[in-house]
Every structure is written in C-alpha cells, then in structure tokens.
Structure 1
Amino acid sequence: MSAHAATEPGRLVIVGASLAGVRAARAARHAGHTGTIILIGAEEHLPYDRPPLSKTFLTHSSDHPAAHEPDEQAHPPAPAVLMAEDELRDDLGVDLRLGVTATGLDTDSRELLLHDQQRLPYDRLIIATGATARRWPTTTHLAGLHYLRTLDDARALRAALARTTNLVIIGAGFIGSEVAATATQHGIHATIVETQDTPLAHAVGQTAGTALARLHTQAGTTLKCGVQVTDFSGTGHIEQVHLSDGSVLPADTVLVGIGAVPTTGWLTDSGVALDDGVACDPYLATSAPGVYAAGDLARFPHPRREGTLRLEHWTAAAEQGAHAARNAITTAAPTRYEPVPYVWSDWYSHRIQIIGDPHTDQPSTLIGDPDTGQFTVLYRHNNHITAALAVNQPRAIAKLRRLITQKAPWADALTQTTTLNPPATPPAGSRTESRAT
C-alpha cells in the first residue's frame, strides 16, 4: 500500500509552532499526507531552536550578528530557525500562521477557537503548545527579575547580562545551571540559590546531584543550597536578594528558573483530559477524537514501568511531534510511543547526557571520580538497568543506550561501564550509593 493510500487527506491543524509542531508538520507531509496542514504559533517569530537561548545566545561575542551593533533593540539578535519560511510554506505546503493564539477547543464540532473570535475547523489536531516558565509566587515593583523560555525572554536577559556583575539564579535545574555556566565563563559572578539540599536531586537522585554540584563549584559558581529567597530590595531595581538563612546576596540581575507549567489553560472545558499536562494514551492520542498531543505538555504511559511521565526535552519534543503526526494521519494501525528518553546539557566545558528515566526507588551507583569531570551514574529497577547519567563519557553513553534498550541485567551494565571508566572509588560493594527521589 502506498503512503498516500494509507493517510487521511483531511485538514491537519497543529497548535504550537515550536520544535514539536514543526516536526509534526514535516513528518505528516513526508508520510504522504496530501491534505491541508495549518501550523499556528502564538509568537510572531519564525519557529526557532530553543537550547542555545540559555547558552551561546546570551553571550556578546562575534558569533552573534548584533554583537557589534550599538542598539540591539533596533537590531535584535536572532537564533537559528528550525525551518526556513520558504521550506515550510513552499516545500511542505504548510499554512503558517504566526502571532495567533488558541483560546479554546470545541471537540464536538471539531473547531479550534482563536483569539480573534475565529473558529478554525479541523479533521485531525495536534496540541503542541509546550510549557511556560513558572512565575515567582510574589510580586515585586523592582526591575531586574527575569525568566527564560522564549526568544523575547532571552533577548531581555542577554541585554541585562551585558551590564551585570552579580547574577543570582533561583533554582538549580538545567536552565539555571546552563545560564550560570554561561555567565561564569564570561566573567559574571553567578550564585545559584536552591531550596533542596542537593541540586537536581528530585530529577537525577542524590548521588548524581552531588556529583553535578561539583561541576559548579569547580568552575567558580557559588551554590547556596537548602535555603529560600524571601525578598528582593533595591531602589527601582533589584540590588539585593534576601535568603531564609538571613544572608543577603548582591544582585544586578535575577533569573527565576523554578520549572515550567504546561500551557493547557486554553483547553479547560474542552473535553480533553488534563493531568499536569495533556493526558495521552500510548499512541499520543488524547481523550478527544482526532486530537493528539506532543512535546512538553504530553503526558503518556511509561513504556517500561507503571505510571505516566512528561518529558520536557528537545529530543522528546522532536520525536513526539513526528510520532503524533504519523498516528494522526494514518488509516493503518497506529504505533505505540515507547522511547528511551535522551537528555543532554552543556555546563562549562562539560557535556552531561542522560539516557532512560532516572526516577527509581532503588540505589543508584556512581562509577568514576567527579573531581576529574568524568563519571557515570547508573540507575536500576529490580535487576535491570533503566537509566544512566554520564559526564564527558560519549563512549559509555552509546553503549549504555543499547543496554537500557535491551533491558540488560544490572550486573552486565556495571561490568561494562566499569571497563569503559575504571572507578577511582572503592569496589562495587563499598561504592557510595543513594536513592533517587
């Protein structure tokens, strides 16, 4: 059967013109969809690549066309686009509509409600509106408080960092850590304030979190853990950040990096089931007929254990967008989404890679020496390896990907990882272990 014969020719509407949405449009067309594809984005900008926004985009170097411009407001820097406009419109035949916000969904009549009161009919719909930065719970009249999620956020933060000596980052997650690394490398004194005693312990466990914290302190970034921000002070602009332990940090700029919230408010009363995101089945289909979800807001059954999960990472958004599109347009049997999650992050000169899902109630094991900047943390469920975190270990992560996919025995994973990176710590029986939360 040909690709064209296996697909529905109706109207496919994709809400969200970021990575998941663009990949969905491309996958649908490449899979043989001959009907209309409408891609809607709330931002005015062409779909752009987000990972550099917390890294190279923030630096004022010759890499950026606007670096030598006297007025960045007149000549704002731009990141790489995910796909050129002529490729989207002409090559893929996508009806690209930017600056258009979805305000509701009528699943009975199969119509998308837009901010200008228009109703856009659809045959199949993919929800890919992502997530927004979690806001600071209290208000302040002082300037200098920043978030980082969009291009406009990144431009504002970039301009602020150009005149910043002391940067305070609230939250030691991946975004906050990446910005801290970028700032520190460019001569800005960065301090990360984290409510947990160990950074990222909720995401990668105590053992890995402790090891990752060493990357910050070795590079000169200050970590203040187990404390909370209680207030900001200054004259018109934030000058001090007050902490729960009574200490006060000097600050020219404050970045709030306390997570993200799925952009699902517009789906209230739509009939689409919500559960800290959009609830999906194993095929990324929602509770509404003909409606699928992909990207940061898609919550789907865990492929290897009980429960569900949401993945807020580049690789997941790219994979889910394509997968949801193929399932949405095909008349053949849909395919289950059963990924081995992959995440990477760059801090200073270090590449951090995570394969699988590190959330487990069993001990994780550290192999290697964090002080050398090369180590691996392995995670298990019963007697099988389920995840791994590696720092500057590309050979190890490639092998571990195969082992996790194959659900290899725990003993095999320990042996092979130790061979690739002989431990500088005591033998396995006396390794430092902790439970991931």
Structure 2
Amino acid sequence: MAGDAAAHGIREVDPDGTILLIGREPTGPVTRPALSKKLWTDPDFAFDQVWLPTADDTGAELLLGESVVGLDREARTVTTDAGLTLGYGALLLATSGEPRRVDGVEPSGRVVYFRTVRDYERLRDLAGGDRHVVVVGGGYIGTELAAGLVQNDTRVTLVFPQETLTGHTFPAHLAAHVQRRFADAGVTLVGGTRVTGTESGADGVTVTLDDGRVLAADAVVVGTGIEVDTSLAGGAGLAVDDGVLVDEHLRTDDPHVWAAGDAAQYPDRILGRRRVEHVDNATTMGTQAGRNLAGADEPYTHTPFFYSDLFDLGYEAVGRLDASLTTVEDWHEDGFGAGVVYYLDDAEPDRVAGVLLWNVWDATDRAREVIATQRDVRPEALRGRIR
C-alpha cells in the first residue's frame, strides 16, 4: 500500500516520469486491511474491491513475483532474484516484512502464516462448513481473524500468550469485556498459552501447546506480527535500527534513496522517532515519499492513527497503547458503549503517550492535539477533553 501511495504521490508532482513497482508478492497492490476485516464481515464488499488500480491511475509498471536482492548505490541499480538489473533516478524502499514465525509451526497446506491475498484465499478454502480453525496470536491480526472466521460458519480456537485477550493493550476491565464478547460469539479462548508445534496430515492438523495439551483442527492460521525486512537496506550500507532510518523528508543517508511504510523508522513530530505498522502510516507516508522522490522536498508531518473492528466493537487510536501505563478513563456510555482512554507517559509524567477512542469517531485530530499540547494530566483535566 505504501508503494501504491508513492506512485500517486509521484504523479501529484511529476506527470511524466517513469515509475516501476517491484513486489515479491505475485499479485498487485491491495487494500490489505480488508484481508482480515471486510472480506469476512461485510457481505457488500466483493473480492474484486480489494485490488488497487495502481497502473491505471498512475501509469506505473508492475514487476510482480520478484524480490530485489541487490542494491548498488554507486551505480544506482537494483538487481532482482531473477537476475534482472534496473537503473533508477530515485529509489523508495517499502519492503515491509514477513510474518513472524513461531518455533515448531511449519507452513503447510493447512498451516497459513497470514499476510497476502494468496493467504486469504487459502484460508477461505480451509474455513467454513463448521470446520475447526486454530488462530495463533492475540494481537491485531489474530483477533480480527478469529472474529471474522467465527462469523463465517467456522469453529474457532484462539491461542494467545496473555492471560486476558487484549490485556497487554487495554485496561483490565475493558480487556475482560472484549474477552467476554469473543466468548459470547462462540470463540474458544486458550489464554496464557503458546503453540510449540504443529503436525499436518491429509485430514487435518494437530496443534501442541506448551502446557502439553493437543488440539485437533482442520487448519491453523498464524497472526503474530511481522519481522521487518531491512536486509536490502542494511546490505547496501544504509543505516538500520528496527527499520530503515530516515529523516523528516523520509530520505535515508543516501540522497537518492527514501523509505516508507512498515519498514521506515522516522522522526514523528509529536511522538518522537518510531516505526509504525498500520495502514494510515503506509498511505500517508507513501504519498509523501512519492512526492519527495519527484522533487517536492517536503517534511512528513503526519502522526498516524490505527484502528480495529471486532464484531460490534470498534476503535481508533493515536500513540502508545500499553496496559502497563497509568490510564485515565472517560466513559461516555455505560457498559463500554463509547469512551476515551488516556495513557500517561511514565517517562514524562506530564504528558499523554496515547489515546484510545472506543466507539468515538472523527476525533483523531483531537487525540493528536491532546498528545502534543496537554500538560495537565490529572483525571479531572483530561475527562471531557474529547467527547
């Protein structure tokens, strides 16, 4: 999605320059959040709506199913795993990452590490018909997939390391509410546990847990985050540290190379240097990087938000959501119907580190303002700041 946005950003500045997008996936850019959300939960969202019309909108050429394995900064060329060498005037690294592997869990026809369109199609084939799918991971992808699958005639067991689902992110009683919602929907919750191995067969897969239990399933889907891919940048001598390091213009320490999206560690104007793996960051940063590739030389000033939808529960958030931080809660409706949770920065006690908007919409700009300017973090000063 960052690459697609970059192509559009280039065209905002340069209507004529040639654009080539190279991607290891065999399919073109897609609306990636739909793979774990709308395609499972919105009957009006058709599969063909997932594709982004990059080539039609921007005239970019797409080279798909190939990985760039070499970067020669002096010659300004990249080389693919198929042996193709291409020159560039300006280069964007939007390499994102690969699904984080779980020791003992090998991918197979029945074990899917979820990331791509092909992964979605494979999981669709394995789900439904009252089949049993074990979901590994209690973060964004794991929870979204568990919610989507159970709404599509699938028996779901969700295995996650936290004692309470989302307990590492939300205050304890809100996390307990989310966990009850999953249980009420029919998801079997196995918390405080990790998967240590799987064994696939013709008729199913067995899943071994670290407490010795063994689960029988039709399929396993793993959603435990990504390992960011900095190999190309690091191999070319660019500065990397949990991401490719860029300045406020998204430029690396090479004047002809930029980075954007999941793989870019950038200086956020409000939150400080960080790396963000969410769609708002991919699209806004990608657009700005594209503009700068075309010569705009503008700073990236956007602080991204992120969101998730779980059954009838939905939220948007800005900044750091960490249940270990002190929180101030401001519930506007009883029973967690709607409200705001402010996470206080323990390192800087007079600052808000993050804002959770629970069923509160069109308020991300106000959340950014609170994080940037609010210095009175007493509960009575924070409650009512965002309604």
Scaled by the length of structure 1, what TM-score is found? 0.78
The residue type paired with residue 377 of structure 1 is: V
The residue type paired with residue 311 of structure 1 is: V
Pair 156,219 (structure 1): closer, same or farther in 2 beyond 3 Å: same
Q: 1:30-429 maps to which residues of 2 (within 5 A)?
A: 30-32=12-14, 34-58=16-40, 64=46, 77-83=47-53, 85-89=55-59, 94-140=60-106, 143-202=109-168, 209-233=175-199, 235-304=201-270, 308-330=273-295, 334-358=297-321, 362-368=325-331, 371-381=335-345, 382-394=349-361, 399-407=366-374, 409-411=376-378, 414-416=382-384, 420=387
The residue type paired with residue 367 of structure 2 is: L
What SS class does the counterpart of residue 394 from structure 1 fall into?
coil
RMSD of aligned residue pairs (Cα, Å): 2.9
Alpha-carbon distance in structure 2 between the residues aligned to 1:63 and 1:96: 25
Unmatched segments (≥5 aa) in structure 1 = 1-18, 65-76, 421-437
Alpha-carbon distance in structure 2 between the residues aligned to 1:349 and 1:135: 30
Q: Counterpart in 2 of 1:72?
A: none
* 1:140 CA displacement: 4.7
8 A contact 1:49–1:81 mirrored in 2: yes
Q: Cα deviations across residues 122-167 of structure 1 (Å, max 9, x unaligned)?
A: 1211111222211232255974211211101110011111345222
Question: In terms of mean alpha carbon deviation, does 393-402 or 191-200 score higher?
Answer: 393-402
8 A contact 1:341–1:357 mirrored in 2: no
8 A contact 1:169–1:193 mirrored in 2: yes
Pair 235,30 (structure 1): closer, same or farther in 2 beyond 3 Å: closer
Question: In terms of mean alpha carbon deviation, does 316-325 or 108-117 score higher?
Answer: 108-117
* 1:403 CA displacement: 2.8
Question: In terms of mean alpha carbon deviation, does 368-377 or 289-298 score higher?
Answer: 368-377
8 A contact 1:327–1:335 mirrored in 2: yes
Q: Cα deviations across residues 216-241 of structure 1 (Å, max 9, x unaligned)?
A: 23433232221111333564344432
Alpha-carbon distance in structure 2 between the residues aligned to 1:380 and 1:119: 50
What SS class does the counterpart of residue 126 from structure 2 fall into?
helix
* 1:184 CA displacement: 1.7
8 A contact 1:355–1:397 mirrored in 2: yes
The residue type paired with residue 55 of structure 2 is: E
What SS class does the counterpart of residue 241 from structure 1 fall into?
strand
Question: In terms of mean alpha carbon deviation, does 244-253 or 122-131 score higher?
Answer: 244-253
* 1:396 CA displacement: 5.7
Q: Counterpart in 2 of 1:14?
A: none
Pair 174,362 (structure 1): closer, same or farther in 2 beyond 3 Å: closer
Alpha-carbon distance in structure 2 between the residues aligned to 1:407 and 1:314: 26
Alpha-carbon distance in structure 2 between the residues aligned to 1:126 and 1:161: 37
* 1:170 CA displacement: 0.8
Pair 104,360 (structure 1): closer, same or farther in 2 beyond 3 Å: farther
8 A contact 2:105–2:197 mirrored in 1: no
Question: In terms of mean alpha carbon deviation, does 351-360 or 152-161 score higher?
Answer: 351-360
Aligned residues: 382
Unmatched segments (≥5 aa) in structure 2 = none
Pair 223,397 (structure 1): closer, same or farther in 2 beyond 3 Å: farther
Alpha-carbon distance in structure 1 between the residues aligned to 2:205 and 2:65: 35
8 A contact 1:284–1:292 mirrored in 2: yes
Pair 352,117 (structure 1): closer, same or farther in 2 beyond 3 Å: same
Pair 274,199 (structure 1): closer, same or farther in 2 beyond 3 Å: farther
The residue type paired with residue 138 of structure 1 is: G
Q: Answer with 1 or 2: which has the greater Rg.
A: 1
Pair 291,383 (structure 1): closer, same or farther in 2 beyond 3 Å: same
Identity of aligned residues (%): 30
What SS class does the counterpart of residue 410 from structure 1 fall into?
coil
Pair 128,84 (structure 1): closer, same or farther in 2 beyond 3 Å: closer
The residue type paired with residue 284 of structure 2 is: E
Pair 141,224 (structure 1): closer, same or farther in 2 beyond 3 Å: closer
The residue type paired with residue 85 of structure 1 is: A
